[in-house]
Structure 1
């Protein structure tokens, strides 16, 4: 629905020819794990993060980029940032 509100073409529906962006989750178990500290910022600086629970997959342009274990390294970045679109 959001894609149609903003008039973004070929998005927002699972339909042949459309860009398939999909989040598959279990509503009974979706949530966040306990916070944990990671040191992945410049100069090894720390930040807090939480992992998703109950998310079974994320697809961007029909390509799976996340599974139950997290980000798929071999997936690359199949999407693009939409800065402008028909309004």
Structure 2
């Protein structure tokens, strides 16, 4: 599945934000910051990654179902789509 260019930009922004947050978490751990603060930031990273994945799945669900943008790929079954979606849950 190829990600739509418009969606790709939004996903990349979310992933870059998560990358920055993760670097912050690593720094917090290295600095011996409070556990509560570290967990809060780690949860934010996790949510950012989840949102990026959900965005890709939401925009690509039709493509996956129909066999890709050009129709050259085999369509995914309902079970395969469900498994893909639930992999982010």
TM range (shorter): under 0.3
Highest RCO, 1 vs 2 (Cα 8 Å, sep ≥ 6): 2
Higher helix share: 2
Q: TM-score, normalised by structure 1?
A: 0.21
